[in-house]
Amino acid sequence: MTPIVLVIPLLAAFMVMMPSPTRVKATLALAGAVLTFIAALFLPTSAPVEMLWLPGIEVYFLLDPSGAASVLVAVAAFVMIPTLLYASNRVTEHPGAMLALLLAMQAGLNGVFLAKDLVLFYIFWEVTLIPSLLMLGVWGGKARRQTTVKYLLYAVTGSFLMLVAILALRPLSGAASYRIDDLLAVTPLLDLQVQLWLFTGFALAFAVKLPLWPLHSWLPDFHEQNHPSGVADVAGTLYKVGGWGFFAWALPLFPDAARAASPVLMGFAAFTAVYAAMIAISQTHLKRLLAYASLSHMGVVGVGVFGLHIAGLSGAMYLLAAQMVTTGGLFLISGMLYERRGSFELDRFGGLAKSAPTLAAITLIILFGSIGVPGLANFPGEFMSLLGAFQTSAWLGGFATLAVIAAGIYGVNLYQRLYQGKAEHGAVADVGRLELLVLIPLLAATIWLGVFPNPQLRAIEVQSEIAQNQLTRPVAERAPVLDPATTLNPSELSATVRPGGQP
Amino acid sequence: MFTFFLLAGVMIVGALGVITLKEPVHAALSLVGTLLTLAITYVTLQAHFLAAIQVIVYAGAIMVLFLFVIMLLNVQSEPAAPQLSWLRPAAYITGLVAVVALVATIVATRQPLPDAATITATLRGGGADAIGEALFNQFVLAFQLVGVLLLTGIIGAVSLVQRRALEAEQAGSSRSQPSRELTDVSS
Amino acid sequence: MIVMPDVNWLALTPPLILLVTASVALLVAISRRGSRPIAALSIVGLSLAAVFNAVLFAQSQTGALATSFGLRYLADHPALAFNFIILLGTALAVLVSFDYLERGGLEHPEYYPLMLLSATGAMVLVAAGDFIVLLLGLEIMSLAVYVLSAWRQNARESEEAGMKYFLLGAFASAFLIYGIALMYGATGFFGFEQIALTLGSDGFDQGLLATLAALLIVVGLGFKASIVPFHQWAPDAYTGAPTAVTAYMSVVVKAAAFAGLVRVFSALFPDLGPIVLALFSVLVALTMIIGNLAALLQRGLKRMLAYSAVAHAGYLGLAVLAAGDLGTQAVAWYMLAYVLMNVGAFAVLTLIADANDHGDDLERFAGLSQQKPWLAAAMALFMLSLAGIPPLAGFTGKILVFQAALQAGYYLLAVVGILTSAIAIFYYFRVITYMYFRDPEYVTPNVESRATNLAIGVTAVGTVLLGIFPGWWYGLLSVGQRFVAGVAGL
Amino acid sequence: MVPTEYYVALSAIIFVIGAVGVLTRRSAIMIFLSVELMLNAANLSLVAYARQWAAAGAEVALSGQAAVFIILAIAAAEVAVGLGILVAIFRYRSSTDVDALSQVRL
Amino acid sequence: MSALVSVAALAPFVALLGAVINGAFGRQLKEPLPGIIGSVAVGIGFALSLLAFLALLFSDVTSVSVPLWSYLEAGGLELELGFVIDHLSVLMMLIITGVGLLIHIYSVGYMHGDPGFSRYFMGLNLFVAAMLLLVMGDSFVLIFLGWEGVGVCSYLLIGFWYRERLNADAARKAFIVNRIGDVGFLLAMFLTFKTFGTLDIAAVNEAAGELVFGSAVLGVIGLLYLLAACGKSAQLPLQVWLPDAMAGPTPVSALIHAATMVTAGVYLIARAAPLFAQTPAASEIVAWVGALTAIVAAVSALAQTDIKKVLAYSTVSQLGYMFVAVGVGAYWAGIFHLFTHAFFKALLFLNAGSVIHALGGEQDMNKMGGLGKKMKITGRTSLIATLAIAGVPFLAGFFSKDAILASSLNSELIGSGVGLYLVLLFTAVLTAFYMFRWYYRVFAGAPRLDKKVAAKVHESPTVMTRPLVILAGFSVFAGYLGLPEFAFPNWIAHWLEPALETSVSFRHPSAATEWLLIFVSIAAVALGLGLGYYVYHLKGGALAKRYGSTAPARLARQGLGFDALYRAVFVRPGEGTASGLAVLDKDLVDRGITGSFTTVGLLAQFTGRLQTGFVRSYALLMLAGLVLLVIAVVLFGGLS
């Protein structure tokens, strides 16, 4: 049942690519998205699938919807529905291809979340890059090529280093396979030094994608250059899964290294959060502003994750899900504004609340959701992330909390420059029916996620506990130690148990 | 021992001649000399059949082919190289180092010779019968493959040198023009 | 006294069939004009050889080891797997040549026979059980390719390609031969099994000489495999040779060379101590670095692919280093993937460049997605696969290779490999950038070639399928009888 | 008798001279000649080692000499192809200078 | 009984429903309808609150918990949302819904004809809902939810007339300054959680009692909550936003920026009373912050010319009193003053609104005067409110202010309260003075109105004046709920006791001393009023004119220059840092990382040069490569 959330979007993507009228394509894509979302709702009750994919190096096709994955998949699938709806109406050049790429991206993303085999995870991680690159390169703005290359180099350099670490993992640890259970049983036993090396490989990949200062500079360009409709930015927002990588893989796999690196990484994340929010204040380009804002959120995600406190872990994942809705929504709104003004320069806006009150109201709610106003989507995650971080390091957690102020500043600045004051550049139309259809679900999700976070959090918490257990278990209790001589023979795994202690 | 050094001296001089003499014909003849000396060396090593083959096939057939081609193509002596002037000294230095390294290795791994009687008994003078036995027992597959190799060489050489009129026909007509600049799309 | 050799005819069928096909094709070719029937005949021969090879392959999976002429011809499991790769590569090259020859005015009758002979040599090399047979296989393969490289006469690049390749090839062969001679001096044998036994025996004191011999042999084989610093012929020869020939030699010659390297490394070198492996690992690192860096500079796609071929030699070298089962399987697996994606890329190239192979600049690819969407999509697929992006075959191959290297403890080398792969992404992706992110600058020639399209289709589908279902080919590789010198006890 | 290493050392010297010849001569045909030197050097060492291995029996010893025979054939085939290429090029170029064949670079 | 009380939990949701209806459909509705919807929603809330109050009053139940739904049951937080309705929160609910109801009704008249009529009531209803959450929340998180909620509503309503840049700026400023406070709240919660492992208020209060008296961590927590309170309640150093917040519609100022929201800080500290009672250091700082704010704001109020700004500074000043109260541990007195202040300050603002309404938007007191004759109800109720806030005996403000003064002297939580007492006493003089000035300049004396305006001056409609009268009534009588305890029954202190039970004890001086103190404060009020009478009535404002343009007066008019100071110290450098970082990010970080890629390009150039094109150089490389390999073998060994 689980792979269905991959199969539906992929199938839809293929069907959309077949020659047919745009209307039909749009319907197909939308149907695919809706079905995926419905399927995603059944994920928590779905059984995992597992089969040997690459014998010899023991890679399994293992998709497991338990834990945070089901939440992230569902939220991403939800955000995808309005995004596809908007894309099918607003992307005029090769709409079919754009829809297909969005769907393909979704499939890859779902894979990233659901994969419980490390190599499989890497595959999805990497493959999702392609649609993202194509969207940027084909539909992007003037500097799209340079931006694409930059994005590519950042992403690939990081993830390739992770690949080395992944492939070195089994030979070093003697894990029976790349399935997470097998890995978790033995990787914590690695020497700290080895763990640190491997962790660094993972961390670089995730830090680029998170992104974390100073590996973030692809992000503003990426968003600035993407298609003005903003749909590609939404996809990019969904794809900011560096935090997930840390949460689901790097931390539980290398607990000693994670603890050792925690202060440093927290420092980077806290700095990112504040730094990006500060920069967002001075941006005059709508999408760049949103990019930096989103970078700041990612800093908070990072702080939560690196704090290694269970509240932070759960909160960071929740924030990851919530920002899909809020940041995604804001990017779509930026697309709508662009459609009205033909520009992203904030100087060209102002006073729009008069002529477009509904758009203003919706923007305001989603924007407030984005800057972490309680009762709206981002707050629970942000609160728990910072709270968790604070439990670990009061100073770094406290420093990261300062981003809240800066977020307030850029948030209200943005609103003022868009909607308040006199409409010096003339009036615009208020939201049309399509836009309302696009925004209402996002609005609803913004409120739902802010008011009823608990069901989602409970699902996330299951996985946070796994990570937490790995991180706090004393060395001796972590796992039965395997005899290196027999480690590559899975059949003997259970038989050979050496009494505790590090080898 | 003296014979060896004499042969070695001639051989080395001949070899140096091959790589230094300006006139191609001289160089080729120098190689012929070297190869003949080598044939004599084979005799001293109790490889009589090989010595004969060396003279007949190598110094005879192959070298004649070479000379023939040199004459046919009227290969002139090489003018001083305008480019790559650094290459010659580099080559000499590298060569010198290579010689030292190779000889050092070879000397370091020297082994005592078996006694003369054993040698004579085993090699049987390196006669045709002895070689033939080896060729048709251990080397029977190789021997067959040599056939394939020569076939390939012949086909290849023929195909290069003996092209049909086909080419002349097609050379003029069917070379398609490079695509023209795209004006209608870019404008 | 001459003893009747033990000839296992079945084991010999694949190369024999090719040899016969080549001869028949030659006879047919001389008597009639047009190369297409000969191509068809070649395909038939290749298919037949593949069928017999499949029978042998199945046999070796159930336990039989098909040897012939003592242990001088070893059609063991990996060899048979490489046979498949060679046959596939040759068949694809034939398909690419099908219309290409006519367009370029290259329809000389000896073309397909030479290709088949070369493939025969490659198969001999793969199955060689002693150095003399290996050498002969290599020479048969090479001589034919030298000629094919210079196939387009009166074209500067092609002449240059043929001549450079030949001169350096002969030079390298001389090293190989001298190495074989020294190996004989050190051990007294040419056969792998005896050499391995001798090297591994107690009291063996010719280690230094054997190591020197091994190095010379590495030079000879490394040359064919285009390992740095013996690689420099490759870019020039690949660039100059007619594209269909480049496609052929970039895969078949390389496959055979690596099969030889794997055989030599896994059979002999373990007994030579770590120094050879250490040195080879340095060469592998240099290969990955230089291949990828130089490819970065190229504007012409053919030359870029040539350097990429060098780079991939580095990745294959990683697995060779790992030797052992994992390494051998990794090389064989990667090689199949490489055949598919590389031939595919060259096949696309034949449709973009003009009949003289000119006009393969990146600019020619600008906006290809608008003019020829399917062609562009296929090319993008090949580029992504070559770059090692999942879930395509190139990626799976890469992880197998890296896994093998890491398993063998080559951590630093793996890191070098990965970092250079990141560089590679840049130049592969640049092609995609041109195809998809730019507007057209030239009219792409409208070449109708069903055969080439078929080749592209097969390689594209293969690249995807192999990537998504890697277990199939890997499973075939991992279960079967394998000759291990010195251990087989045959 | 002259020890084997003398012969092999001589062969090494000839081999390297041949190799240096390949590097220094500019005419393709001269390079062919140098390659022939290298092959003959190999042959010399094979013959020398064949005598060395006499103690190991005829099969081992004579295989060295037989290999020379094979290598001779290889040399012949190479020469055939090499000269073929040379002649083919010469038709259009009227030069055997390999330095002129340096258009494809970088 | 508990069930009856529990029903009051519906109040915020009813208000929310009103907001949603107005937000979604308000623009389609004809004018008074949105106002009626809004008023009804708050009215229901008031009725429910009253019901709950009565239920509590006539039963032994002191506190009722109403669980809502699970909110953050993860990460060890185990947080369920729930309301606590006890003697403290029910009082706050009454103030919020009661005063809120009156202001809603008043607004129907005040906002008549405004194009954003429905938006206005949506904002107000939303505010009431959020404010109710704030006071009813049983955990710090829920309080924070309301806390930020009221901040957002405040932002929306200050910037209600967003087309004027100044209004939007003011709203932004309020939001940002509040956010600074919010960070304090967040950090306080984090530290609370770290210390106590829970964010449930009752649990925290209980656990705080078990901690060592005066422990450092409690002090830090207290100070962080104080920072939050300072933000919301406009105390030093975060007081700067409130005067600007007068940019919003006047009823908004009355409800949010006078009666309810700004008192949230006081409420917060009172809620966490057991915690603060354990940390004398933090408490003393709270008190001093309040005292300093009181006097600073009072001084600033002296020189204001805007009818609302005077009231704004006065609010800040009065909030300072409340902070002193909760600082010295007299939590009930803080709440008591909050309670009375809600009435007379709301009344003052509504009166100001009435005046502004009558003058067609004029807010400058220099263009008023003598309005009491034309606007009888407004004038009279203003007088009552002025006297009440000034602390004239027998009016509401007198009792509550006096309770604070007395507590500050008698508290045993802090050291000597004499300093605080004197500051507050002096502030009382100033208060009486500037309030007299305010009243006199607006309602008495000679009219200074523009002629056009003067002709149109009229009393406001009934819908506006009725609330004035009601509030005036409360301004008079509310104080009798908390008569001085030494001689009279003090209902409110006893009522609040169960909710504010702490370990703080007070000295009980003799009745004579108490009486003396009362007379001293009466004297202070008299002094202030007398001074005002002297300056404005007897001297006819000549003194004010002479000194009105001197440097100290200008300084006072600008709120003692805090704005300029912050602009120079925080805003400008902050903006500079922001844009500097932006440049840095683009030029340094980006190029630094991207630059490493270009070095790869240079390396590539180098490797490209190896490929010379000359076959002989290739051969040389092969030979050289081999030689190097051989040398390596010779050097590093053969067979191991």
Rounded CA-CA distance C6/E387 in Å is 125
* Residue predicted with more confidence, C247 or A475: C247
For range C276-296, the mean pLDDT: 90
Render each residue's pLDDT in chain D as its tens digit; 106 residues.
Answer: 788 889 999 999 999 999 999 998 888 888 999 999 999 999 999 999 998 888 888 888 889 999 999 999 999 999 889 988 888 888 777 777 777 777 776 6
User: Is any Cβ of chain A less than 8 angstroms from the Cβ of C373?
Assistant: no
**Are E99 and E255 spatial neighbours (Cβ–Cβ below 8 Å)?**
yes
Cα dihedral E557, E562, E568, E573 sign: negative
- Tell me what percent of the residues of chain A surpass a pLDDT of 90: 17
For C422-447, what is the HEC assignment? HHHHHHHHHHHHHHHHCCCCECCCCC
- Does position E542 have pLDDT exceeding 90, yes or no? no
Model confidence pLDDT, tens digit, residues E190-227: 999 888 888 888 888 888 878 777 788 888 988 999 99
Tokens found for residue A475:
């060395």
The single-letter code of the amino acid at E413 is L
Closest CA to C459 of C99, C94, C92, C98: C92
For residue A50, the cross-strand partners are: A62
Q: Count CB atoms within 10 A of the CB of residue A126.
A: 23
Q: Return contacts of E449-453, CB within 8 angstroms, 24+ apart.
A: E449/E359, E449/E362, E449/E367, E449/E368, E449/E369, E450/E362, E450/E367, E453/E359, E453/E360, E453/E362, E453/E367
Q: Count CB atoms within 10 A of the CB of residue A485.
A: 10
What are the DSSP E strand ranges found in A144-218?
A: none
**Are A57 and A450 spatial neighbours (Cβ–Cβ below 8 Å)?**
no
Please tell me the distance in Å from E600's CA to the nearest CA on chain B.
28
Closest CA to A382 of A296, A271, A292: A296
Mutate to test the interface with E, among C156, C275, C304 (most CBs of E within 10 A): C275
Q: How many CA atoms lie within 13 Å of A305's alpha carbon, on the beta-carbon side?
A: 35
Selecting from D88, D93, D104 the residue whose C-beta is nearest the C-beta of C157 gives D104
Model confidence pLDDT, tens digit, residues A417-452: 888 888 888 888 888 888 888 899 999 999 999 889
Instruction: Using a threshold of 3 CB pairs under 8 A, tell whether chains D and E touch.
Output: yes
User: Is any Cβ of chain C less than 8 angstroms from the Cβ of B137?
Assistant: yes
The pLDDT score that the predictor gives to residue A475 is 63
pLDDT classification of A220: cutoffs 50, 70, 90? confident
Model confidence pLDDT, tens digit, residues A308-327: 888 888 999 999 999 999 99
Model confidence pLDDT, tens digit, residues C352-394: 888 788 888 888 888 888 888 889 999 999 999 999 888 889 9
pLDDT classification of E512: cutoffs 50, 70, 90? confident
**Are C223 and C233 spatial neighbours (Cβ–Cβ below 8 Å)?**
yes
Rounded CA-CA distance A96/A20 in Å is 9
- Does position A499 have pLDDT exceeding 50, yes or no? no
- Does position B148 have pLDDT exceeding 90, yes or no? yes
For range E34-57, the mean pLDDT: 90
Place of tokens 């560089």: C423
All residues at 6 or more sequence positions from B129 whose CB lies less than 8 Å from its CB, including other chains: none
Please tell me the distance in Å from A282's CA to the nearest CA on chain E.
5
Model confidence pLDDT, tens digit, residues E117-147: 888 899 999 999 999 999 998 889 899 989 9
**Are E172 and A424 spatial neighbours (Cβ–Cβ below 8 Å)?**
no
All residues at 6 or more sequence positions from A53 whose CB lies less than 8 Å from its CB, including other chains: A59, A60, A61, A117, A120, C470, C471
The pLDDT score that the predictor gives to residue A487 is 42
As a residue count, chain E comes to 640
User: Is any Cβ of chain D less than 8 angstroms from the Cβ of E512?
Assistant: no
User: Is any Cβ of chain E less than 8 angstroms from the Cβ of C14?
Assistant: no
**Are E371 and E351 spatial neighbours (Cβ–Cβ below 8 Å)?**
no
Put simply, the answer to whether E592 touches A214 (Cβ < 8 Å) is: yes
Nearest CA in chain C to A174: C407
Longest Cα–Cα distance in chain B: 90
The pLDDT score that the predictor gives to residue C486 is 57
**Helix spans in E329-417 (H):** 331-358, 371-374, 376-390, 396-410
Model confidence pLDDT, tens digit, residues E315-337: 999 999 999 988 888 888 889 99
Rounded CA-CA distance C164/E82 in Å is 85
**Are A430 and A361 spatial neighbours (Cβ–Cβ below 8 Å)?**
no
Instruction: Using a threshold of 3 CB pairs under 8 A, tell whether chains B and A touch.
Output: no
For range A96-114, the mean pLDDT: 89
Rounded CA-CA distance C361/C438 in Å is 14
The pLDDT score that the predictor gives to residue B82 is 67
Rounded CA-CA distance D31/B18 in Å is 10
Neighbours of chain A (3+ CB pairs under 8 A): C, E
Tokens found for residue E612:
């010379």
Q: Is E68 helix (H, G, I), strand (E, B) or coil?
A: strand
- Does position B164 have pLDDT exceeding 70, yes or no? no
pLDDT classification of A476: cutoffs 50, 70, 90? low
**Helix spans in C353-392 (H):** 368-371, 373-387
Please tell me the distance in Å from B170's CA to the nearest CA on chain E.
30
Tokens found for residue A287:
């999408």
Selecting from A278, A311, A375 the residue whose C-beta is nearest the C-beta of E577 gives A278
The pLDDT score that the predictor gives to residue E637 is 64
Rounded CA-CA distance A43/A32 in Å is 16
For residue A54, the cross-strand partners are: A59
Q: How many CA atoms lie within 13 Å of A360's alpha carbon, on the beta-carbon side?
A: 25
User: Is any Cβ of chain A less than 8 angstroms from the Cβ of E596?
Assistant: no
Mutate to test the interface with C, among A167, A196, A225, A487 (most CBs of C within 10 A): A167
The pLDDT score that the predictor gives to residue B61 is 83
The pLDDT score that the predictor gives to residue D100 is 76
- Does position A497 have pLDDT exceeding 60, yes or no? no
The pLDDT score that the predictor gives to residue A488 is 42
All residues at 6 or more sequence positions from C265 whose CB lies less than 8 Å from its CB, including other chains: C277, C280, C320, C321, C323
Rounded CA-CA distance D6/D12 in Å is 10
**Are E482 and E400 spatial neighbours (Cβ–Cβ below 8 Å)?**
yes
Mean pLDDT of chain C: 88
Place of tokens 């070198």: C269
- Does position E419 have pLDDT exceeding 90, yes or no? no
Rounded CA-CA distance D81/C164 in Å is 13
Tokens found for residue C4:
């009747």
- Does position A212 have pLDDT exceeding 80, yes or no? yes
Q: How many CA atoms lie within 13 Å of A455's alpha carbon, on the beta-carbon side?
A: 11
Model confidence pLDDT, tens digit, residues C305-360: 999 999 999 999 988 888 777 788 889 999 999 999 999 999 999 998 887 888 88
CA distances from A475 to A256, A310, A466, A496 (A): 9, 19, 15, 18
Nearest CA in chain A to C410: A168
Contacts C–E by Cβ distance under 8 A: 100
Put simply, the answer to whether B19 touches D20 (Cβ < 8 Å) is: yes
**Are E352 and E439 spatial neighbours (Cβ–Cβ below 8 Å)?**
no
